[in-house]
Amino acid sequence: MVAGLACLLVALGSWAVASPVGASPDEDYHLVSIWCSQGERAGLCEKPTADSAVVPAALLSQSCYAFHPEQSAACTRVSPTQSMVRTSRGNFDGAYPPVFYWVNGLLAGKNISTSVIFMRIANLLLFLAVFAGVYLLLPAGLRRAQLIATLVTLVPLGMFLIPSINPSGWAILSAATLLVSILGYLTITDRRRRIALGAAAGLIVLLGAGARGDAAVYAVVAMIAAAILTVRSVRVPWRRLAYPGVLAVVAGLAFLLVGQAGSVNPGTANTDHASVGRFLRIAFDVPALWSGAMGSPAPFNNSLPAWAWGLGWLDTPMPAVVWVGAGGVFAAVLFAAVARAGRRTALAVGFVGLVTFLVPTYIQTLSDTPVGGLVQPRYVLPLLTLLVLAATVRLDGAAFSLSRGQRWIVVATLAVANGAALYANIRRYVSGTAGKDWNLDQNPQWWWNGLIPPMVICAIGTIAFAVSLVLLTTGITTVTTAAPVDKPVVDNAIAARVPAQAGMGRGLELERGEPDLTASTAP
């Protein structure tokens, strides 16, 4: 486990330096919001008012290459002026929650590039720390779900957003850890572990709801899914449900208190557009958002450019091997998990799947825009992670597992998809998509001063992610009980006489070779 996370750290670190400052969606907005998150500071954010502030002019010029994928990021090489300008391009109206900006604002300084790199690294370290902390507290039935759901929805969008200064990175963190934290809190009998998981769930709600309004909504979705999976299916004291209920109310209030809630307010829409016919036309295109989260281009019937829905400002197109590979693994794992699922799991998967379909359809219908005009793939990515989580969670019986062949297919496919995505992302900024030379080190138009060459970064990131997949999935093929870790292991002689119902929640399963939580190769 430790070695696998260390390799994942290196892989995410490679992505952190694979793009220039200003590369994530709307980064000029987020830069100003971060620099002004802690009030007036000389040289960083001066003379703030209710709707504007005076900030370094360079904050607004870092995304000079946006929407021009054929161009490199060479325009950022121009020495930024030290002048200060007044701007309203920021979170002055409270459209976004303040927590993400305030935390990252602790690292804001006069050297913008250095500050942003530190923020990217801090955000990826936060992701790995929370992920590992929750993982180590869980039983196998939840650990494996957390691991596999995160890995199969990480490439390419998650790899790009987690080590970035875009609030969507924290939304992905919340999706990967909240549901299993709540399920662990509800089902584990060991008091210390339960309290730790409850505290973790509270922190995760704060991080998600403190970054994006929709992440607060997804937290409520996770609470409902947890209730479906546990109520009347395992012995959970009713009083334990009070805490998740409180967290759900807090998350709901957090959503209503930010400006993002206005984007889904039906009172602001023209009801003439919300016809059944229009709803159906949009509904038929909504699944394109799911494939878009895996890196596919925008649908052909959309008014967006052909390269839209890539990384960056949606302007970094991904090779087909990325979205076909990542999307294929996602669909295959989901299909395999549902095939072994019990009734409660099927209900939870159906609920999350319905939300994943209806929410973007409803919003796009109200806004009178085609799919992609308002809801973007990165907004639905956390829901896809929740969907796989709901499908792979096992509270009793046997933990979810893959065969050896399935495991190696997943590892190989995701490793190739990540390498291709990382290469395409670096190329877009080094030479633009119009570049012809395969060697990114040949006359790069943009790269970090003093950093090792781009091809080396690409190789390091590709190899590190591949090794992390191998190490983190080592035990995923082992048949083991999904029961909480504080329950005794079944005696071998007894287990041999009890028929196992893999993943169905009936019967017991012998724990065979499940790696120790502290071992470096645990799943």
Residue 249 within any structural domain of the chain: yes
Q: pLDDT for 126-157, tens place per residue? A: 999 999 999 999 999 999 999 999 999 999 99
State the maximum Cα–Cα separation within the chain, in Å, rounded to a whole number.
Answer: 77
**48, 97, 141, 177, 420 from 135: Cα distances, Å:** 42, 27, 11, 8, 29
CB contact at 8 A, 362 and 151 = no
Task: Estimate the crossing angle of helix 454-472 against helix 2-16, to 10 degrees.
Answer: 150
**484 has pLDDT over 60:** no
**492 has pLDDT over 50:** no
Assigned token pair, 514: 């499940």
Helix and strand numbers (H, E) in the chain are 19, 2
According to the model, what pLDDT value does residue 372 have?
Answer: 76
Residue 494 within any structural domain of the chain: no
| 427: nearest Cα among 12, 17, 18, 65 | 18
Residue 83 within any structural domain of the chain: no
**370 has pLDDT over 70:** yes
pTM assigned to the model: 0.89
Question: Which residue shows structure tokens 């005009």?
Answer: 373
Residue 221: how many other CB atoms lie within 10 Å: 23
What is the overall mean pLDDT for the chain? 87
Residue 496 within any structural domain of the chain: no
According to the model, what pLDDT value does residue 504 have?
Answer: 31
CB contact at 8 A, 395 and 482 = yes
Instruction: State mean pLDDT over 170-199.
Output: 95
Instruction: State mean pLDDT over 488-502.
Output: 35
As for how many domains the chain has, the answer is: 1
Q: How far apart are CA 408 and CA 402, in angstroms?
A: 9
Q: Quote the domain boundaries for residue 468.
A: 2-37+110-257+270-472
Peptide bond into 156 cis (omega under 30): yes
Residue 42 within any structural domain of the chain: no
227-231, 393-397, 508-512: lowest mean pLDDT where?
508-512
| 112: nearest Cα among 76, 74, 166 | 76
Residue 220 within any structural domain of the chain: yes
Q: pLDDT for 88-127, tens place per residue? A: 999 999 999 999 999 999 999 999 999 999 999 999 999 9
